[in-house]
């Protein structure tokens, strides 16, 4: 366990009471978790079917029948199996090849919720899911309903696209959380057995397949499994995946060749890009530019940062640094969204960040949150936390409606509903959130992220407690082995006064508080006689802490006008507005249609902006009202005419937080506004 350095706070040691975040967490607990359970059991009217429980039960039966010699596997290699006309076949796999993972993500979210909000009824429901999973596990530990139902002999022959190791990763994340929440070993045992089954087939040893996940996450998950069990072999397997990836001969190319030799056609999607779609175009430690499928990439580099930290691998750490730079300096939306193109749900060229055709998948922003936290663990620099916060407050939250009942997969920064409906080039962009997707990665991913917020807000080394996000709540920290209870009072993102009070325990050590990048004029007040040092964007306050000690932090929240790098063509001549970590947008509901005709003088508008307390979907939010001009819509103008200075009228522009958009019906939306 040496060299672990900074670890996120154990969720069980925090109690979030924050008005803003509690609402999201309560939505997850009271709306999303029950809704998703219904979805996993195909009980949501009008939503695409999940098939999760169906597949688990079918697999369990198949295993029993196979033992009794009564099972004839189907042989299909389709990544998606749709329900035929008529009733579903109870013994058949349906849905996407990665469908198992949806239930695992749900279980993980449930576990975080149980940690802070015990609920015997919910735990009993979750136990049903755990039992179903366990029943679907093969005797040798293998667990993937797709192959159990479609031909167990074909398992591990399409690591590239068939997601067995991805499902394993989500299972493991769930198993660790489930044990931490309930103390129960059952799902962890399942995960360990699957891990050992995989490691028996895939690895660097003789006779093994030198493969690695087509969709990463197992790397991060194995690290957690190591941390939970103390079994070094799991860390070694994680390191093996990271180190083997992208080496020549390319495993995916080999896999396709072998598959075709066996008479099974396998897609060579990504071959032209040398499998950059899968981040397998060259060894991870040689990578510079972030490429390919955005969720895959974020999950990989999260795992790679874990491995770099835990094995002291400096070359790998340097690669993570380079890729981080490529991500946040060239390929990230102002909302913390990543993956600009729907083609392959992928990163586009540097600085190619279209607003209306954006992909910016919710899960990719969640992946960026994971990556950022792990970069923070490598080095506590507030710039990583700035990005983590940006993605959380904007794209991750935007992914879920304010009633917790519908979700965005894609998060555009500009929407014209008429174009979304009629233009097939924008068919991935939805102007309103959807109930549930056949490919439902985002809703349960939002749930597990929001439910584990405290693991992002705070982290610990033996002698330092870091506060990354100012979330109201109570924390049981430990400094140099001495317990210390802290109370955080905060009202972000709407107001910036933070008070941290020691409410119990006495300890020597450092409380480190992030000075957000957006808070240039931030001030801190510390107890008399304490030491204050500013380092890498954190105030390090050291002292002998005792009850009653108070730290006050003032984070002014002026409205800021923001410009993008001049290389971002799509944002040339445009400005966006932020306040604290929150990105704002204009909606048609407040400002009428044709938002592209609105123009602002950015600096003047920011200075003159007024805040307006309002409510959207039941959530109190701070809106902004600022001076702008609206160009004439020229209804009777000809298509082309002699240029004339545009005729404008002054208007009061109302902006709302981006995460709250599309909660008041369908309409235009725009983050980046034209300047004058």
Residue whose tokens read 């990271």 = 242
Token pair of 47 as six digits: 């939503």
Question: Pick from 513, 296, 516: which is nearest to 384 by CA?
Answer: 516
Of 200 and 567, CB closest to a copy of itself: 567
- Shortest Cβ distance from residue 635 to a copy of itself (Å)? 8
Q: Looking at beta carbons only, is 341 or 459 nearer to a copy of itself?
A: 341
Write down the least CB distance from residue 66 to a copy of itself, Å: 37
Q: x/- binding map, residues 617-636, to a copy of itself, per CB under 8 A?
A: --------------xxxx--
Among 238, 400, 472, 564, binds a copy of itself (CB under 8 A): 564
Q: Least distance to a copy of itself from the beta carbon of 353, Å?
A: 9
CA 626 to chain centre: 32
Q: Which is nearer to a copy of itself, 14 or 328 (CB)?
A: 328
Nearer to a copy of itself, 255 or 668 (CB): 668
Phi-psi region of 480 (alpha: psi -120 to 50; beta: other; left: phi over 0): left
CB 524 within 8 A of CB 368: no
* 674: contact with a copy of itself by CB under 8 A: yes
C-beta of 278: minimal distance to a copy of itself in Å? 16
x/- contact string, 404-433, with a copy of itself (CB under 8 A)? ------------x-xx--xxxx--------
Minimum CB distance to a copy of itself, residue 597 (Å): 6
- Asked whether position 43 contacts a copy of itself by CB under 8 A, the answer is no
| Residues contacting 45, CB < 8 A, separation 6+ | none
Give the whole-angstrom CA distance, residue 349 versus residue 326: 10
The answer for residues whose C-beta is within 8 angstroms of residue 607's C-beta and 6 or more apart is none
Binding window for a copy of itself (CB under 8 A); candidates: 30-38, 258-266, 557-565, 653-661: 557-565
- Confirm or reject binding of residue 294 to a copy of itself (CB under 8 A): no
Peptide bond into 493 cis (omega under 30): yes
Shortest approach of a copy of itself to residue 301 CB, angstroms? 18
**Beta carbon of residue 674, minimum distance to a copy of itself (angstroms, whole number):** 6
Nearer to a copy of itself, 200 or 633 (CB): 633
CB under 8 A, 24+ apart: contacts of 665-668: 665/432, 665/589, 666/417, 666/431, 666/432, 667/417, 667/431, 667/587, 667/588, 667/589, 667/593, 668/415, 668/416, 668/417, 668/587, 668/588, 668/593, 668/594, 668/595
Query: What amino acid positions are annotated as catalytic residues?
Result: 345, 441
**Closer CB to a copy of itself, 385 or 568, in the complex:** 568
Residue among 315 and 572 whose Cβ is closer to a copy of itself: 572
Q: How far apart are CB 33 and a copy of itself at their closest, in Å? A: 35
CA distances from 448 to 29, 203, 306, 366, 442 (A): 10, 30, 19, 10, 10
How far, in Å, CA of 149 to CA of 64, rounded? 12
**Cβ proximity to a copy of itself, 195 vs 298, nearer residue:** 298
Stretch touching a copy of itself by CB under 8 A, among 69-77, 498-506, 593-601, 612-620: 593-601
Which of 114, 167, 368, 606 binds a copy of itself (CB under 8 A)? It is 606
439 makes contact with a copy of itself (CB under 8 A): no
**Footprint (CB under 8 A) of a copy of itself, residues 331-390:** 332, 334, 341-344, 348-349, 352, 357
411: helix, coil or strand?
coil
Q: Which residues contact 604 (CB under 8 A, 6 or more apart)?
A: 627
Binding span for a copy of itself by CB under 8 A among 54-62, 178-186, 453-461, 556-564:
556-564
Whichever of 608 and 633 has its CB closer to a copy of itself, that residue is: 633
Q: 201 vs 596, which CB is nearer to a copy of itself?
A: 596
Tokens of 258: 């072998």
Question: Per CB under 8 A, does 157 bind a copy of itself?
Answer: no
- Out of 144, 255, 330, 549, the only residue in the binding site for a copy of itself (CB under 8 A) is 330
Task: Specify the pairing of strand 458-461 against strand 7-8.
Answer: antiparallel
Question: 3-state DSSP call for residue 421?
Answer: helix
- Strand-pairing partners, residue 508, are 544
For the CB of residue 348, give the shortest distance to a copy of itself in the complex, in Å: 6
- By CB under 8 A, how many residues form the interface with a copy of itself? 56
Q: What's the closest the beta carbon of residue 619 comes to a copy of itself, in angstroms?
A: 26
Indicate the burial class of 673 (C-beta count within 10 angstroms; 0-12, 13-18, 19 or more).
Answer: buried
Q: Pick from 1, 85, 528, 637 the residue near a copy of itself by CB under 8 A.
A: 637
For residue 539, give the nearest of 574, 511, 498, 565 by alpha carbon: 511
Q: How far apart are CA 470 and CA 512, in angstroms?
A: 12
| Residue 587 to residue 593: CA distance in whole angstroms | 8
**Does 644 engage in binding with a copy of itself (CB under 8 A)?**
yes
| Distance between CA atoms of residues 321 and 158, nearest Å | 31
| Spatial distance between the Cα atoms of 315 and 447, rounded to a whole number of angstroms | 34
Shortest distance (Å) from residue 424 CB to a copy of itself: 4
Q: Which stretch binds a copy of itself (CB under 8 A): 301-309, 329-337, 454-462, 543-551?
A: 329-337
Q: Which two tokens stand for residue 357?
A: 């055709």
Question: Residues 1, 261, 640, 650: which binds a copy of itself (CB under 8 A)?
Answer: 640
Question: Quick one: which of 16, 401, 440, 568 contacts a copy of itself (CB under 8 A)?
Answer: 568
H or E stretch at 35: helix 33-40
Calculate the alpha carbon distances from 119 to 16, 447, 453, 461 in Å.
17, 17, 19, 31
Q: Interface with a copy of itself by CB under 8 A: which range of 238-246, 396-404, 457-465, 560-568? A: 560-568
* 8 A C-beta contact, residue 54 and residue 89: no
Is 671 near a copy of itself (CB under 8 A)? Answer: no
Asked whether position 642 contacts a copy of itself by CB under 8 A, the answer is yes
- CB of residue 632 to a copy of itself, shortest distance in Å: 7
Identify whether the C-beta of residue 290 lies closer than 8 Å to the C-beta of residue 347.
yes
* Omega within 30 of 0 (cis) for the link into 249: yes
Positions 67 through 106 that interact with a copy of itself (CB under 8 A): none
Residue from 566, 613, 618, 650 in contact with a copy of itself (CB under 8 A): 566
255 is written with which tokens? 């896999």
The residues that touch a copy of itself, with contacts defined as CB under 8 A, are 328-330, 332, 334, 341-344, 348-349, 352, 357, 416, 418-419, 422-425, 560-569, 572-573, 575, 594, 596-597, 599, 602-603, 606, 631-634, 637-646, 674-675
């Amino acid at each position: 366990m040496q060299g672990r350095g900074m670890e996120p706070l154990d969720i069980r040691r925090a109690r979030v009471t924050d008005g803003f975040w509690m609402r999201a967490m309560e939505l997850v607990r009271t709306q999303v978790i029950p809704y998703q359970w219904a979805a996993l059991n195909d009980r949501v009217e009008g939503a695409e079917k999940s098939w999760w429980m169906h597949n688990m039960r079918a697999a369990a039966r198949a295993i029993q029948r196979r033992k009794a010699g009564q099972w004839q596997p189907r042989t299909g290699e389709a990544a998606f199996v749709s329900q035929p006309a008529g009733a579903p076949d109870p013994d058949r796999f349906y849905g996407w090849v990665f469908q198992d993972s949806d239930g695992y993500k749900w279980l993980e979210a449930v576990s975080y919720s149980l940690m802070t909000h015990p609920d015997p009824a919910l735990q009993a429901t979750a136990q049903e899911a755990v039992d179903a999973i366990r029943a679907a596990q093969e005797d040798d530990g293998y667990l993937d309903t797709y192959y159990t139902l479609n031909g167990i002999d074909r398992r591990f022959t399409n690591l590239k696209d068939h997601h067995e190791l991805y499902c394993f990763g989500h299972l493991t994340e769930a198993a660790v959380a489930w044990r931490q929440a309930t103390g129960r070993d059952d799902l962890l045992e399942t995960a360990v057995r699957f891990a050992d089954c995989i490691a028996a087939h895939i690895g660097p040893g003789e006779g093994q397949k030198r493969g690695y996940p087509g969709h990463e996450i197992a790397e991060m998950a194995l690290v957690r499994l190591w941390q939970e069990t103390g079994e070094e072999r799991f860390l070694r397997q994680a390191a093996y995946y990271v180190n083997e990836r992208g080496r020549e001969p390319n495993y995916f190319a080999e896999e396709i060749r072998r598959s075709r030799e066996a008479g099974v056609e396998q897609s060579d999607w990504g071959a032209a890009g040398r499998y950059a779609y899968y981040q397998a175009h060259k060894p991870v430690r040689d990578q510079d530019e972030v490429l390919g499928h955005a969720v895959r990439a974020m999950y990989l580099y999260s795992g790679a940062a874990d491995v770099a930290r835990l094995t002291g691998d400096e070359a790998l750490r340097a690669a993570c640094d380079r890729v981080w730079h490529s991500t946040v300096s060239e390929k990230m939306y102002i909302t913390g969204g990543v993956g600009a193109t729907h083609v392959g749900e992928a990163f586009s060229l540097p600085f190619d960040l279209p607003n209306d055709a954006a992909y910016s998948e919710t899960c990719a922003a969640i992946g960026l949150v994971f990556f950022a936290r792990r970069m923070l663990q490598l080095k506590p620099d507030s710039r990583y936390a700035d990005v983590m916060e940006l993605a959380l407050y904007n794209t991750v939250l935007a992914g879920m409606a304010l009633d917790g009942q519908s979700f965005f997969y894609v998060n555009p920064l500009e929407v014209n509903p008429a174009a979304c409906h009629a233009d097939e080039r924008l068919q991935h962009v939805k102007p309103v959130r959807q109930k549930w997707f056949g490919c439902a990665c985002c809703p349960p991913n939002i749930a597990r992220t929001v439910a584990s917020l405290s693991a992002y807000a705070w982290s610990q080394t033996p002698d330092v407690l870091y506060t990354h996000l100012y979330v109201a709540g109570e924390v049981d920290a430990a400094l140099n082995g001495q317990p210390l209870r802290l109370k955080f009072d905060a009202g972000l993102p709407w107001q910036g006064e933070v008070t941290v009070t020691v409410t119990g325990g006495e300890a020597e050590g450092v409380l480190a508080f992030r000075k957000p990048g957006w808070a240039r004029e931030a001030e801190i007040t510390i107890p008399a006689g304490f030491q204050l040092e500013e380092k890498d964007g954190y105030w390090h306050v050291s002292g002998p802490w005792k009850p009653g000690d108070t730290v006050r932090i003032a984070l002014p929240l002026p409205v800021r006008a923001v410009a993008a790098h001049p290389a971002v063509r799509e944002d040339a001549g445009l400005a966006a507005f932020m306040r604290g970590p929150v990105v704002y947008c204009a909606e048609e509901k407040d400002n009428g249609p044709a938002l592209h005709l609105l123009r602002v003088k950015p600096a003047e508008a920011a200075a003159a902006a007024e805040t307006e307390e309002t409510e959207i979907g039941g959530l109190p939010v701070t809106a902004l009202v600022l001076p702008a001009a609206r160009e004439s819509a020229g209804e009777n103008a000809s298509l082309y005419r002699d240029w004339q200075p545009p005729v404008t009228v002054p208007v009061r522009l109302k902006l709302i937080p981006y995460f709250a958009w599309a909660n008041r019906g369908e309409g235009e939306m725009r983050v980046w506004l034209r300047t004058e």
